Amino acid sequence: MYERIIESYFTLSGQMRELRCSILLEELLLKLSEINDSSVSGTDILVQEMIHRIHSTPDRFISPKELADLYHVSIRTVSGRFKKVTGESIHQYQLKLKLNMAYDELPFNPDRPLRDFAISYGFYDEFQFSKLFKRQFGISPSERK
């Protein structure tokens, strides 16, 4: 699907390019929506609640044990169901979420120290935050500011 969008963008021109890319993007969004609807079904309310909990506490990382204790299930159940629905481990999901949140916020707060960003998103310090940020996005947080 992505290849078709890119190919259309570079091989067509004018209104034909706009129309073709628009149609392909709508098709892609529809497929993504269908995947999302099928992956977070009513039978995975537990995972929906875990995701909500993770999003509501960006200032810290929640361990699988904490989630298991909170929802009265085993760590294996929490980890397995979470990965089945999201495709990522709980830690990977949280790390990606927090880095994306910081990525979005950085340009709007250029004077805010990196240490504050790191702490507010649950990282140990600005060095850990910067290293992981650069690994994820290929640029440092300072460059993003």
The pairs formed by 32-35 with CB atoms below 8 angstroms and a separation of 24 or more are none
Of residues 18 and 66, the one with the higher pLDDT is 66
pLDDT in tens, 99-118: 999 999 999 988 999 999 99
Q: Which two tokens stand for residue 105?
A: 């916020």
At position 90, the amino acid (one-letter code) is I
pLDDT in tens, 28-48: 777 777 666 555 554 588 999
Average pLDDT, integer, range 16-38: 73
* 141 and 129 Cβ atoms separated by less than 8 Å: yes
Mean pLDDT of the chain: 87
Coil, helix or strand for 65? helix
Kindly state which CATH superfamily the domain 42-145 is placed in: Homeodomain-like (1.10.10.60)
Distance separating alpha carbons of residues 130 and 144, to the nearest angstrom = 11
For the ranges 21-25, 54-58, 99-103, 109-113, which has the lowest average pLDDT?
Answer: 21-25
